C-alpha cells in the first residue's frame, strides 16, 4: 500500500494570491472510493452526530445510516452540541453503524447544549492541526495544544469571540479568506495541494481521489490562509524544491497508529516535519504532512495550565 507513495507525483503550475502559493498535485493513482463525506452525509440526512449519554469533551458518537463508509477527515469541524469540536484523526465509519470517535474542543468558553451538531464550513487551521499531531506523537495532551493554538489564532487576528470559538474567528475574516480562495482553482484530476507562504513550504495534503479532494479544497486552503500574515512581498517558487520536499516526506519512517474505524493509520516523522497517512483496503485515502513550527513546544508544565474543568 505505502508503495503508492513512491509513484511519480505530478506538480502542476503554481497558483498565487499575494504571498501565498498553492501548487496543485496530481497523483498517477486516482482510486475510485465508494465513500460518503461528512458534508454530503449531513446534506442527505444520512449522518447523525450526538453527544454521549454522559457528555465528554473529547468523544462524540457518529451514526452512519448510509450503505457506504462515512469519511471524517482530521481537523474537520462540527458545530453545535455542548461545544464545537474537530475530528481528531481521519476516520471511516462502517455502513449502517454507529461509532464513538475522538474529537477536540474548539470552543472552550461554552459547555451547554446549543443545537444539534451541524457541519462546519471550516477545518482547523493548519497550525492547530500540526500542534495536535505533534502533541499526539509524543503522547501528550492534544486538547491543550488545540486550545493554545486557537488562543494564538485569536491573538494574531485581534479578535476573540465570547466563547473562544475557532469557527467565529474564521467568520470574522471570511471575506478575506474568500478573496484568496477565488485565486486557487481546482485543476483536472487534482488529488492534493502543497502550500507555500513567502516561498517557504508549510505542508501538503493528498487524497488519491480527485472527487474527495475537491470536497476539501476550499477548507484546506482556508486553513493555511488564516494562519498566514498576508502581504505583497515577492518570493520565488521552486518546484524542484517542492518535489524534493514531498519525496523526503514520504521517505520517512512510518509507524502504525491507533485505528478507530475501518481505516488503517500510520504516523510518519522526518527532519522537515510530521504527518499521518490513512489507508482503506490497502489503498491510501488521505495523507497530510506539516512542516515543523519551531515556536510550538510540548512542554508538559505549560500544557497542564491550559486545562479546564466542566
pLDDT digits 0-9 by tens, 180-221: 899 999 999 999 999 999 999 999 999 999 999 999 999 999
Polymer length in residues for the chain: 310
For residues 97 and 199, what is the distance between their CA atoms, to the nearest angstrom? 45
The per-residue pLDDT for range 171-180, each reduced to its tens digit, is 998 878 888 8
| pLDDT score, position 63 | 98
Reported pTM: 0.92
Whether the CB-CB separation of 174 and 162 falls below 8 Å is answered with: no
Residue 71 has pLDDT above 60, yes or no: yes
> What was the pLDDT predicted at 253?
86
Strand partners, 279: 264, 284
Is 233's pLDDT higher than 70? yes
Secondary structure of 53-101 in the HEC alphabet?
EEEECCEEEEEECCCCCEEECCCEEEECCCCCEEECCCEEECCCEEEEE
Q: Is the CB of residue 62 less than 8 Å from the CB of residue 47?
A: yes
CB–CB of 201/99 below 8 Å? Answer: no
Cβ contacts of 266-269, under 8 Å, gap ≥ 24? 266/2, 267/133, 267/137, 269/137
pLDDT tens digits for range 122-170: 999 999 999 999 998 888 999 999 999 999 999 998 998 899 999 999 9
HSE, side-chain direction, 13 A CA sphere, residue 264: 11
Question: Cα–Cα distance between 223 and 128 in angstroms, integer?
Answer: 9
pLDDT value of position 294: 80
What mean pLDDT comes out for the span 94-121? 95
Short-list 32, 30, 41, 109, CA closest to 78: 41
The per-residue pLDDT of the chain, averaged, comes to 91
| Neighbour order of strands in the sheet with 36-37 | 36-37, 70-72, 91-93
| Alpha carbon distances (Å) from 92 to 119, 249, 279 | 17, 24, 10
Neighbours of 220 (CB within 10 A): 24
What pLDDT is attached to residue 299? 63
Of the candidates 3, 167, 145, the one whose C-alpha atom is nearest the C-alpha of residue 85 is 167
Cell matching residue 116: 444539534
CB 92 within 8 A of CB 71: yes
What is the spatial distance between Cα 120 and Cα 223, in angstroms, rounded to a whole number? 13
Return the C-alpha cell found at 74: 482530521
pLDDT band at 306 (very low <50, low <70, confident <90, very high): very low
Please report the pLDDT score of residue 28 as a whole number.
87
Residue 266 contacts residue 254 (beta carbons within 8 Å): yes
Amino acid at each position: 500500500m505505502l508503495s503508492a507513495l513512491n509513484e511519480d507525483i505530478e506538480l502542476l503550475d503554481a497558483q498565487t494570491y499575494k504571498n501565498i502559493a498553492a501548487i496543485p498535485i496530481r497523483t498517477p493513482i486516482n482510486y475510485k472510493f465508494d465513500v460518503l463525506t461528512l458534508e454530503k452525509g449531513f446534506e442527505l440526512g444520512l449522518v447523525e452526530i450526538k453527544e454521549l449519554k454522559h457528555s465528554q469533551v473529547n468523544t462524540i458518537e457518529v451514526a452512519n445510516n448510509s450503505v457506504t463508509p462515512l469519511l471524517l477527515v482530521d481537523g474537520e469541524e462540527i458545530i453545535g452540541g455542548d461545544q464545537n469540536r474537530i475530528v481528531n484523526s481521519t476516520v471511516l465509519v462502517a455502513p449502517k453503524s454507529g461509532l464513538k470517535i475522538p474529537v477536540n474542543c474548539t470552543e472552550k468558553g461554552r459547555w451547554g447544549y446549543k443545537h444539534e451538531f451541524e457541519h462546519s464550513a471550516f477545518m482547523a487551521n493548519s497550525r492547530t492541526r500540526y500542534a495536535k499531531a505533534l502533541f499526539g506523537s509524543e503522547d501528550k495532551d492534544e486538547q491543550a495544544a488545540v486550545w493554545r493554538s486557537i488562543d494564538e489564532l485569536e491573538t494574531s487576528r485581534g479578535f476573540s469571540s465570547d466563547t473562544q470559538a475557532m469557527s467565529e474567528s474564521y467568520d470574522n475574516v471570511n471575506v478575506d479568506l474568500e478573496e484568496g480562495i477565488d485565486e486557487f482553482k481546482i485543476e483536472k484530476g487534482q488529488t492534493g495541494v502543497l502550500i507555500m507562504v513567502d516561498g517557504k513550504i508549510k505542508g501538503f495534503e493528498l487524497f488519491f481521489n480527485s472527487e474527495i479532494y475537491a470536497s476539501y479544497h476550499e477548507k484546506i486552503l482556508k486553513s493555511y490562509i488564516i494562519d498566514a500574515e498576508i502581504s505583497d512581498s515577492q518570493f520565488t517558487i521552486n518546484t524542484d524544491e517542492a518535489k524534493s520536499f514531498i519525496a523526503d516526506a514520504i521517505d520517512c519512517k512510518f509507524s502504525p497508529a491507533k485505528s478507530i474505524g475501518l481505516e488503517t493509520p500510520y504516523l510518519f516523522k522526518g527532519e522537515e516535519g510530521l504527518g499521518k497517512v490513512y489507508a482503506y483496503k490497502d489503498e491510501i485515502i488521505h495523507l497530510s504532512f506539516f512542516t515543523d513550527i519551531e515556536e510550538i513546544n510540548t512542554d508538559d508544565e505549560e500544557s497542564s495550565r491550559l486545562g479546564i474543568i466542566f
